[in-house]
Amino acid sequence: MSLIEVSHVSKEYEVLVPRQGARNVLKNIFCPDKKKVSAVSDVSFRIHAGELVGFIGENGAGKSTTIKMMSGILFPTAGNITVADLCPYRKREENARNIGVVFGQRSRLNWDLPMMDSFELYKEIYQIDSNVFRKNVDRFVEMLRMQDFYHTPVRQLSLGQRMKAEVALSLLHEPPMLYLDEPTIGLDVMAKQQIREFIKERNRLEGTTTILTSHDMKDLDCVCQRIIVLAKGSIIFDGSMERFKKEHTKEGVSDIEDMVRNIYEENVFTENSGCSKVE
Amino acid sequence: MMMGLCRYMGLTYFFTKKAVKGMLTYRWSFLINCISQALDYSVTFLLMWIMISAFEDMNGWNAYEVMLLYAFSLFAYGIAGTFFFNIMNLLPGQILKGTFDDVLIKPVKVLPYLISSSFICNYIAHMTLSVIVMAVCFKALQIQVTLCLLWRVAGILLFGSLIYGGLFLIVSGSAFLVAKIDSLFQIMYFFREVSYYPISIFPRIIQVIVTTLVPYGFVNYYPLRELLGKEDSVVFRQAAVLSPLAAVLFFTVSCLLFHQSSKCYKSSGS
Amino acid sequence: MRLCRKILAISFKEKSIFRFDYIVGTVFAFLYIVLKVYLWKGLYGAGGKAIGGITLNSMIVYSIIAGFTEGITKTTVMKDLNDSVLDGTISANMLLPIGLKRYMFIQSVTRNLFRTLYGMLPSVASAMLVFGFHVNVNLVNLFLYLSSVCMGVIINFLYNFLFGSSVIWLRNSFFLSNINSVLLSLFSGAFVPVWFFPEGLKELSRFLPFRYIVFEPAAIFVNAKSPQEAMAVLGMQLIWIGLLFGAVTLVWNRGRHKIMIQGG
């Protein structure tokens, strides 16, 4: 029984195209040109409980969009998503209790106060039992070695320290599912290593189903058992890490980053063959 | 339902504490801010008093009565602003930057959460000044301040704040539809300004529109008309009794509109 | 002149992009005029008699023209000076070949001119159409009004510049700018003309420059002054300009010195 089921999901946006020139000012106000942009196109996959899945793709490939749809932030234009028997965008509130989300490019912590204050806020919002809360806080502080900067305002933390706090925050309410959208972006090697270890620990100890998107191939290599490669809104590979390496190792290409680059380049040539994507 | 209400009240308490803490941290600039707001509104009160005193009255409302209208409106606006202004102010930025996603990821209903978390202390000056003006006007009009009167006044102000709250929500909700809504803030200021004057100065058509579409008349005019026993000619003479109903209705409609607009939300892409 | 055109062109582009703002702004300008019309109608009551020598019709015209004048004479130079001193950009502006005062003056006037013409004219014109009140305007009056408005613009600019420069010593001019706007709204006559003020305030207003920014020009426009009185007003405006200009020069020279020493 799969925990997460995404079937034939597409997401299209309508974008206004302003016409240039002074003559078109009036037209721009009253009947502007519109263009359909496809972010995600007919994507399907299944994830089982306890899996550690990685998403790779270029910027604009549709990774973040897919995660947002799975979190209930966006409605898909077509297709269905089921997460733990719930439709995330229809039962947003219930689904929110089951997921923990970390956005690498945005912070969910309160900027001016120490992380504890944000933790307390989340305790209120997620209605976490006091004992559970205390236990988790202590455990995370220890596992991520945050004792030194625990009381510092978030504003003064380094990016690595902040990201550890973000990851801890997302797991306070012990969700069965964890989505991480580029959590290691901009981090130094030590911080990256600690966060990767932490994610693997959680998955091993608690069986947290984890989805990780990243541009850093090492992240995925270290952490994930299975990867899904997205390009221009479609899945071009979905399988285990070993299969990926086996299939895409060519002469002189043993580095994962090169493999992925090759895949992107291949897809640029095939993309114009009958696909309905406009960019 | 009750559980939900308790939960959001708990959250409100939490955020209120935070807001008060923040205010106390920057207490001097907060104080200066309050004083300048108080000065600003005092001058407007003064100008209004000068204006109406130069003529005998405005459609039968003398200077003190009109200032009472103003004070009631300002106070109701203050209560509403305390809970709703920050929604209107911050929501467009959150939508633009995509931080609104954060709200959607939490196991809370969007609107109650936004209301709980938007508490600000900045309207203390408005409300204090309004109370002072009310006291002065009641004395000047020789109205006895009894417990019964206070009870009525509290009711009028509370329902009035619901109407302003509804307006705030309608403007905030449009942030989901239009990128920048700074110009729409004027809606709030405009209706607040119009509410300072008795509705009877307008021709019948405008009176009808103003009572049914955006019922700001129920904030201060209709209730005060009854309270003070005014006889100026207005289309809906008995409207005062409907004030609470109108307030609740309008607020409910704006909540629904807000909810509908929030469905249009598309977060900005990566 | 070319500078003016450039700034105008940029303003135009900015306005076109945020066209929603523009439409909303114009609609509300119109609605505020509507409110004022009914306000004064309500005050004058059914009688329509002239209070203090001013008829209802004149009062409505005054209201509109005062709003218009207020829009033209507005300036953000106090805040701009404040901001640019605090974040250091003032040094860059001081390097321009034309003096800072002149630069900020041209900037203020051009921005305002554009905004007023595009924003207020449609609403004023629509209001005049809808309500159909008549305006007695002869050429002499119009000329006197325009001269007075020009001087009002200069007075407001100089006054704001003077108090804006205080930020060089005070570091935070928030309170000062607030008092300034409070005084302006009280005495400028944009909302309630000085005619209706009680004696004490009327006397006080004679010694302050504020009434010469909006009130006096608007009063000229509605024929509340004979040509001789109008000339006297222009004279007073010139005196104020002289005083303020002197003050500004003094203060600014010192301030500029301080900035160049401290680096802003």
Neighbours of chain C (3+ CB pairs under 8 A): A, B
> How close is the nearest chain B Cα to the Cα of A230, in Å?
14
Q: Is A253 on the interface with C (CB under 8 A)?
A: no
The pLDDT score that the predictor gives to residue A128 is: 92
Is the pLDDT assigned to residue B269 strictly greater than 70?
no
Does residue A234 lie within any of the structural domains?
yes
- pTM as predicted: 0.84
Listed range (B144-153, C135-144, C235-244) with the worst mean pLDDT: C135-144
> What chain C residue is nearest to B233 in terms of C-alpha separation?
C42
Annotated domain spans of chain B: 2-262
Q: Which band of pLDDT confidence, cut at 50, 70 and 90, is reported for residue B248?
A: very high
* Chain B, nearest residue to A97 by Cα: B107
Cα–Cα nearest to C169, from C100, C85, C94, C243: C85
**Does any domain span residue A224?**
yes
Nearest residue, CB atoms, C196 vs list B36, B50, B187: B50
Total tally of structural domains belonging to chain A: 1
Give contacts of C19 with chain A, Cβ < 8 Å. Answer: 25, 28-29
Question: pLDDT tens-digit profile of C145-189?
Answer: 889 999 999 999 999 888 888 877 777 667 777 888 888 888 887
Q: CATH number of the domain that A224 lies in?
A: 3.40.50.300
Determine the residue of chain B that is closest to C36 in CA distance.
B194
Angstrom CA distances, A115 to A104, A131, A163, A166, A171, stand at: 16, 19, 11, 9, 14
Torsions phi, psi for B120 (to 5 deg): -135, 155
- pLDDT of B87 > 90? The answer is yes
**Comparing C264 with B171, which gets the higher pLDDT?**
B171
User: Which structural domain range is residue A115 located in?
Assistant: 2-242
- Which 3 state secondary structure label does DSSP give B239? helix
How far away is chain C from the Cα of B9, in angstroms, using its nearest Cα? 36
Q: Is the pLDDT reported for residue B169 higher than 90? A: yes
- Chains near A (3 or more Cβ pairs under 8 Å): B, C
Please give, rounded to a whole number of angstroms, the shortest distance from the CA of B74 to a CA of chain C: 18
Beta carbons of C42 and B58 less than 8 Å apart: yes
Mutation site, C15, C19, C21, interface A, largest A CB count within 10 A: C19
- pLDDT band per the 50, 70, 90 thresholds, residue B129: very high
Nearest to B40 among C42, C175, C182 (CB): C182
pLDDT 10s digits, C84-119 = 877 777 777 777 766 788 888 888 888 888 777 777
Lowest mean pLDDT of A150-159, B160-169, B247-256, C186-195, name the range.
Answer: C186-195
| Residue written as token pair 């929030």 | B262
CB atoms within 10 A of CB A133: 18
Min mean pLDDT across C14-18, C27-31, C192-196 is at C14-18
Contacts of B49 by beta carbon, 8 Å cutoff, 6+ apart? B63, B67
Partners of residue B119 in chain A, C-beta under 8 Å:
none
Put simply, the answer to whether B270 touches A124 (Cβ < 8 Å) is no
* Residue C217's pLDDT band (cuts 50, 70, 90): confident
* Closest CA of chain B from C241, distance in Å: 26
Average model confidence (pLDDT) for chain B? 89
Percent of chain A predicted with pLDDT > 90: 32
Give A47-92 pLDDT, tens digit per residue: 999 999 999 888 777 888 899 899 988 888 889 999 999 999 888 8
Q: Spell out which residues of chain C touch residue A29, defining contact as CB-CB under 8 Å.
A: 19
Which tens digits make up the pLDDT trace of A28-45? 656 667 788 888 889 999
**Looking at A23-27, A117-121, B204-208, C169-173, which range is the least confident one?**
A23-27
- Write the residue in C25, C175, C182 that is nearest to B43 by C-beta: C182
Place of tokens 């041209």: C106
Is A28 part of any domain? yes
Say yes or no to pLDDT of A189 above 60.
yes
C2 in reach of chain A (CB within 8 A): no
C16 interface with A at CB cutoff 8 Å: yes
Which residue among C20, C38, C39 sits closest to B178, beta carbon to beta carbon? C20
- List, in sequence order, every beta strand (DSSP E) within A173-251: 177-181, 209-213, 226-231, 234-240
What does DSSP say about strands A226-231 and A234-240: parallel, antiparallel, or unpaired? antiparallel
Give C21's contacts in chain B (Cβ within 8 Å): 180, 182-183
For B105, which of A59, A101, A105 is closest by C-beta distance? A101
Say yes or no for a CB contact (<8 Å) between B101 and A73: yes
A34 by DSSP, 3-state: which?
strand
Chain A residues touching C16 at Cβ < 8 A: 25
CA distances from residue A141 to A60, A115, A137, A177, C226 in whole angstroms, order as listed? 35, 11, 6, 20, 82
Confidence category of residue A272, pLDDT binned at 50, 70, 90? very low
pLDDT of residue C182: 86
Question: Which of B55, B187, B193, B200 to mutate: most C Cβ within 10 Å?
Answer: B55
Q: Is C201 on the interface with B (CB under 8 A)?
A: yes
State how far residue B108 is from chain A, nearest Cα, in angstroms.
Answer: 6
Strands A226-231 and A209-213: unpaired
Establish if A31 belongs to a structural domain.
yes
What mean pLDDT comes out for the span B53-62?
A: 83
- Residues A198-223 have a mean pLDDT of 90
In whole angstroms, give the CA distance from residue A157 to residue A111.
10
Interface A–B counts its CB contacts (< 8 A) at 60
DSSP B125-172: HHHHHHHHHHHHHHHHTT----HHHHHHHHHHHHHHHHHHHHHHHHHH
Instruction: Kindly state the helix (H) or strand (E) to which residue C122 belongs, with its residue range.
Output: helix C121-131
Q: How confident is the model at residue B164 (pLDDT cuts 50, 70, 90)?
A: very high
- Assigned domain for A69 exists: yes
**Which of C60, C184, C186 to mutate to test binding with chain B, by most B CBs within 10 Å of its CB?**
C186
Neighbours, chain B (3 or more CB pairs < 8 A):
A, C
Residue B240: per-residue pLDDT: 82
Inter-chain contact B101–A68, Cβ cutoff 8 Å?
A: yes
